[in-house]
């Protein structure tokens, strides 16, 4: 910021003062306010089990039983682990050590002596000393880098997906940026991502008799126990998964009693309804989600389009046009209406005690986030939880209505998560446009009834045809008119108008080249990891190349003579 200043400067000119605003979150990192965390590396299993095994949960209200359970686990964490230290945001380089630090001090000292010796008799000697010190520093850095990289390659045998893999793959991503902490910016982002909706929760069915509600089974709890990953980040309570799994092992029956009490009361504890927001600045590449899609999803689209353009003649033959239209739902998972989900659960005749539990789960949800002003909370009134197994289930329950719409006969709809694709097959272009517009109107109306909105400007249209003349269509999505493009991207696969998938193969070949080049650094010709680890890394490249293969493999048969742009590098796997 700049501006004039009335400070007297003994001059005919007015002073211009500059003010530089620096972000407060630069430099040393700080712990999120109100959150406790422990270091899982210092976990002492014996002392933790000694405290937890003596825990006795008294029968009572489910909320009180949960508080007693979590308080005991928290005390055990305090006794068995040290508190987590929040490191500085800027860490030293991986090759830095004490010897290099000493060489750097000597180099700085020699440089200053050389600068002070200018014009003196010993100037030449001081310059030579500085050159030698600088040479020793460079050599020390090279030796340290070479040693650290050799140790990193040797670590692949012990942890194939650990630090070595993450290090080389991180070079392919954009540099990480610190999340925004400006209060106004964060609050505006939170209110946009989590829209405020007037809750209209329908009443859950009356609670049945207690003996009709089943208790949590042993196998159910064991299944949930096995799904807890050790290395996953802890939740808002800060309890590491290592301690959580140890608590379940020591007090298996106590956990069953607490969960059964919650199920029979239809109570989802308030302390488990908290969720934490971790803002992250997205780049263009980061906005693309990694999706694992069943092969049938691709085959359904490509098969419909391929059968439409098969044949020998157009006007009097069997050939037809096929339009593929993709719709984007704006802020889908955070905008799901809770009353629509509960209505869908009731229509599906889900057991009454589960409906009651879900209804209670939606009440009193709180989002925690941190700004420069400190810790703040935000009441969540819509959306399904992301990162939880319950989120996709509740979304699919509500979204099932879209997939069961009565559409015009030439139209079909396919949905995966919040991605919708419509295929329209017709003999003439005017019919393709008519049925496409009608189908889009019906889908948008159904989404509006569910409280969802489409990002019409992100709608994409592809006209699949085998005619030599390039033809296009224009469809209407709300107030936007979209013209068909030569290629669109759906569920990670690039589909072109000829169904040859040349653009897709070019893109995945370039990506496989970059990944193979990064992984090759961990596998030198002499030494390095054993053959089984090399084979795993080779499969990483294969998975990139074969993504969506059930869809594009048939299309490439007709253009098998065409060579994909850029072949991936080979990863040598020694014979066993």
Tokens of 366: 């709180």
Count of residues making up the chain: 576
| pLDDT score for 33 | 46
Residue whose token pair is 């099932």: 400
Give dist(CA 337, CA 330) in Å, integer: 14
Cβ contact 404:396 at 8 Å? no
Tens of pLDDT, residues 34-57? 567 788 888 888 888 888 887 888
DSSP state of 210: G
| pLDDT score for 562 | 46
| pLDDT score for 29 | 43
| pLDDT score for 434 | 93
Give dist(CA 323, CA 419) in Å, integer: 16
| pLDDT score for 275 | 85
Give dist(CA 536, CA 161) in Å, integer: 10
Cβ contact 188:369 at 8 Å? no
Cβ contact 164:303 at 8 Å? no
Cβ contact 29:87 at 8 Å? yes
Percent composition of the chain: helix, strand, coil (DSSP 3-state, to 5):
45, 10, 40
Give dist(CA 425, CA 327) in Å, integer: 17
Give dist(CA 560, CA 552) in Å, integer: 11
Tokens of 381: 């009134």
Give dist(CA 87, CA 90) in Å, integer: 8
Instruction: Give Cβ neighbours of residue 263 (< 8 Å, ≥ 6 apart).
Output: 213, 214, 215, 216, 353, 357
Torsion of CA 492, 496, 497, 498, to 10 degrees: -120
Beta strands in 67-179 (DSSP E): none
Please report, for the chain, the start and end positions of each structural domain, with discontinuous segments joined by +: 40-85+187-281+338-381, 98-170, 295-334+392-496, 502-558
| pLDDT score for 251 | 87
Instruction: Give Cβ neighbours of residue 390 (< 8 Å, ≥ 6 apart).
Output: 361, 384
| DSSP notation for 455-473 | -GGG-EEEEE---SS----
| pLDDT score for 303 | 52
Cβ contact 297:414 at 8 Å? yes
Beta strands in 284-437 (DSSP E): 321-328, 366-371, 374-379, 411-416, 419-426
Tokens of 121: 């008799």
Low-confidence ranges of the chain (pLDDT < 50): 23-33, 283-299, 309-315, 561-568, 574-576
**Pairing relation of β-strands 366-371 and 274-276?**
parallel
**Pairing relation of β-strands 493-496 and 474-477?**
unpaired
Packing angle, helices 45-53 and 241-250, rounded to 10: 50
| pLDDT score for 483 | 92
| pTM of full prediction above 0.85 | no
Nearest alpha-carbon partner for 94 in 176, 42, 177, 150: 150
Nearest alpha-carbon partner for 518 in 569, 572, 574: 569
How far is residue 315 from each of residues 282, 312, 433, 470, measured CA to CA in Å? 48, 10, 18, 16
| pLDDT score for 313 | 44
| pLDDT score for 158 | 86
| pLDDT score for 5 | 61
Instruction: Give Cβ neighbours of residue 335 (< 8 Å, ≥ 6 apart).
Output: 195, 329, 382, 383, 451, 452, 453
Tens of pLDDT, residues 529-561? 888 888 998 999 999 988 888 877 776 555 554
Fold designation for 295-334+392-496: Alpha-Beta Plaits (3.30.70)
Which phi-psi region, left, alpha or beta, contains residue 109 (left: φ > 0; alpha: ψ -120 to 50)? alpha
Q: Report phi then psi at 475, rounded to 5.
A: -115, 165
Cβ contact 13:31 at 8 Å? no
| pLDDT score for 101 | 94
């Amino acid at each position: 910021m700049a501006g004039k200043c009335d400070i007297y400067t003994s001059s005919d000119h007015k002073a211009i003062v500059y003010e530089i605003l620096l972000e407060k979150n630069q430099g040393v990192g700080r712990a999120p306010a109100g959150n406790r965390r422990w270091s899982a590396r210092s976990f002492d299993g014996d002392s933790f089990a000694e405290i937890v095994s003596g825990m006795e949960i008294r029968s009572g209200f489910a909320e009180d039983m949960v508080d007693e359970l979590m308080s005991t686990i928290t005390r055990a964490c305090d006794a068995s682990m040290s508190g987590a230290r929040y490191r500085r945001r800027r860490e030293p380089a991986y090759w830095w050590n004490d010897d290099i630090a000493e060489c750097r001090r000597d180099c700085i000292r020699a440089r200053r002596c050389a600068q002070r010796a200018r014009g003196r008799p010993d100037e030449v000697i001081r310059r030579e000393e500085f050159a030698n010190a600088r040479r020793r520093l460079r050599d020390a850095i090279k030796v340290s880098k070479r040693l650290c990289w050799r140790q990193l390659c040797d670590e692949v045998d012990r942890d194939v997906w650990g630090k070595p893999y993450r290090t080389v793959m991180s070079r392919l991503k954009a540099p990480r940026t610190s999340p925004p902490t400006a209060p106004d910016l964060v609050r505006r982002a939170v209110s946009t991502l989590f829209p405020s909706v007037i809750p209209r929760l329908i009443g859950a069915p009356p609670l049945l008799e207690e003996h009709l509600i089943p208790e949590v089974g042993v196998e159910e709890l064991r299944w949930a126990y096995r799904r807890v990953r050790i290395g996953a980040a802890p939740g808002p309570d800060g309890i590491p998964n290592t301690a959580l799994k140890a608590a379940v092992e020591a007090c298996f029956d106590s956990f069953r009693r607490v969960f059964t009490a919650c199920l029979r009361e239809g109570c989802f504890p308030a302390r488990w309804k908290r969720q934490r927001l971790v803002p992250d600045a997205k780049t263009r590449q980061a906005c693309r989600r990694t999706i694992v899609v069943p092969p049938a999803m691709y085959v359904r689209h490509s098969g419909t389009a391929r059968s439409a353009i098969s044949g020998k003649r157009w006007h009097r033959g069997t050939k037809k046009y096929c339009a593929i239209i993709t719709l984007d739902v704006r802020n889908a998972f955070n905008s799901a209406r809770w009353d629509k989900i509960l209505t869908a659960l009731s229509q599906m005749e889900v057991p009454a005690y589960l409906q009651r539990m879900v209804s209670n789960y939606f009440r009193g949800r709180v989002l925690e986030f941190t700004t420069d002003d400190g810790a703040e909370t935000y009441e969540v009134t819509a959306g399904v939880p992301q990162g939880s197994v319950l989120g996709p289930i509740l979304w699919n329950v509500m979204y099932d209505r879209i997939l069961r719409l009565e559409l015009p006969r030439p139209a079909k709809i396919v949905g995966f998560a919040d991605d919708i694709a419509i295929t329209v097959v017709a003999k003439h272009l005017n019919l393709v446009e008519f049925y496409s517009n009608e189908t889009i109107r019906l889908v948008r109306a159904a989404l509006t009834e569910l409280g969802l909105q489409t990002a019409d400007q992100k709608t994409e249209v592809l006209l699949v045809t085998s005619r030599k003349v390039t033809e296009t269509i224009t469809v209407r999505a709300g107030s936007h008119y979209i013209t068909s493009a030569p290629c669109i991207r759906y569920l990670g696969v690039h589909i072109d108008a000829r169904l040859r998938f040349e653009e897709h193969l070019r893109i995945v070949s370039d990506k496989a080249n970059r990944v193979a080049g990064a992984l090759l650094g961990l596998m030198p010709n002499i030494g390095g990891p054993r053959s089984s680890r090399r084979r795993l890394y080779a499969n990483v490249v294969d998975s990139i190349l074969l993504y969506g293969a059930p869809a594009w493999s048939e299309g490439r048969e007709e253009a098998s003579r065409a060579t994909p742009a850029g072949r991936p590098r080979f990863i040598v796997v020694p014979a066993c």
